[in-house]
Chains A and B, each alone.
Chain A
């Protein structure tokens, strides 16, 4: 692996919550066009690691490099500016606002004199309608519909549509298939594959290992704040083996 292929590298990340060490010298690298599954039991540090990358938390020690350049991610705005988009389990949408207004929230297109800050609502609605089709919402839902009127899967699809539209280099999906129906889950998994084919990288976190196995290129496992496996190929490993690693056996034990 050369430096050029590498999109994101987190190096020796340490994070404390009070006196509890949530992450200890965890390093993670994501290549271009790669889907990495991040696995671990509850409290293993998956979400903490991801929140540091997406700017929701800051690490006490450790560095983050994007395209080989060291970056300083202090908040979510910084992360988005660096092309890192995060889709949380609760979708993080504003339920009172319409689909189109949610997709463009924070990056609304404006027209006319800049001082008036007039949103280009026609452009937003047109783009939103096209995006909804792309993420597989076949029902005819107008983009002016408030999020509160949508189902859980539809909401997740809106969040995904947002990540697709802004052409993020790295899309982090934190439990994207929670609370979703079978069809909706299939839609999300299809999107993840599609994202890789169109040049995005993904970090995929899910409790359901079967979902992870279906889409990822590589599996990374955290246990109690440490990285215990980095390069598991889902095509050459069984789900059972990975479960052992998650719960306590080391990668060396498996290969021995």
Chain B
């Protein structure tokens, strides 16, 4: 057992399956489309990926603790609406608007966490309700109209999602932030005391509580983080596409949860991997991009996504059973 080689340990890791799938995708799409690996297409692919990816990072941490958040898509749409409405109406500077949007995200996350942990309502119901409340608020304050963003100039915008060209690739600052967040959260989940608490809260909340782990507080903090990450991603997106649409982010919650579980994080908690989530994000984004590139009708996209989710779930459950067989 202990003399297993590096290769064997590598294959036994939960991230191995997603990694293989991503490589297969890249090989197949490259074979069928000459422009898939072009600088233009890769730049395109990497423009939107970090935005969904940031939501997925927050969701991974939350799901590892045994909860999930359906309101992230609404928060993604709501936060930039707050920021730009404050700015456009002359109430606040862009920076102040940004801080206000983030603070509201904290309130949304705290409300989710408080309702789930204190009132013991399942996170499915709490965050479904919050999804409607937050989306409804975004629609109400804008009367359904998009907010303009083109009049703004601020170093904050460059810091969040400024772009530059390197070796022919157009890279947004959001990609760097995504990588930074992923590295920090990998550290938190695997190396830190907080990570042990998050895993324990998802694995066996009663015994974690009995050991002195503050399970409720841990979960509330993670609900706040999920909301803040979604809000930050929404602000990033609004600056990049120069529009804040009250409807943007609709349906993201399910796509993000799909990305997270494809990567190997358990929907029921106790097991989570940031690297897996990054792979899961890339798998679904590459699939969406590649399918169009190789000429499959875009409307068929969901067939492939669904098949990937089912296939990966089957693989994870098979690996799980094989891992525990006979022990």
Point out residues on A near B: beta carbons under 8 Å: 56, 76-77, 80, 86, 88, 92-97, 101, 104-108, 110, 116-119, 121, 142, 148-150
Contact = CB atoms under 8 A, between A and B. Distances in A.
Contact of A95 (B193, B197, B204, B212): B204
**Which of B208, B209, B212, B213 is packed against the most chain A CB atoms within 10 Å?**
B212
A97 B199 contact: yes
Contact of B196 (A76, A93, A101, A150): A101
Interface of B: 1-2, 187, 191-197, 199-200, 202-204, 206-213, 270-271, 324, 327
B212 A94 contact: no
Contacts of B192: 116-119
Contacts, number: 78
9 contacts: A76-B209, A88-B210, A94-B199, A94-B203, A106-B212, A119-B191, A119-B192, A121-B191, A148-B324
A106 B324 contact: no
Chain A residues touching B, majority SS: loop
Q: Give 6 nearest A-B pairs by CB, closest first.
A: A92-B207, A106-B212, A106-B211, A94-B203, A96-B270, A96-B203
B138 to A, nearest CB: 35
Nearest to B320: A148
Contacts of A94: 199-200, 203-204, 207-208, 270
A116 B184 CA distance: 10
A110 B191 CA distance: 10
A7 B270 CA distance: 37
A143 to B, nearest CB: 12
Given A94-B200, A108-B193, A117-B194, A56 B210 contact: yes
Contacts of B202: 96
Contacts of B1: 142
Given A92-B211, A105-B197, A119-B193, 9 more contacts: A76-B210, A94-B199, A96-B203, A96-B271, A101-B196, A101-B199, A105-B200, A118-B192, A119-B195
Contacts of A96: 199, 202-204, 270-271
Contact of A86 (B187, B194, B195, B210): B210
Contact of B206 (A92, A107, A117, A121): A92
B207 A107 contact: no
A149 B324 contact: yes
Contact of B210 (A92, A104, A121): A92
A81 to B, nearest CB: 8
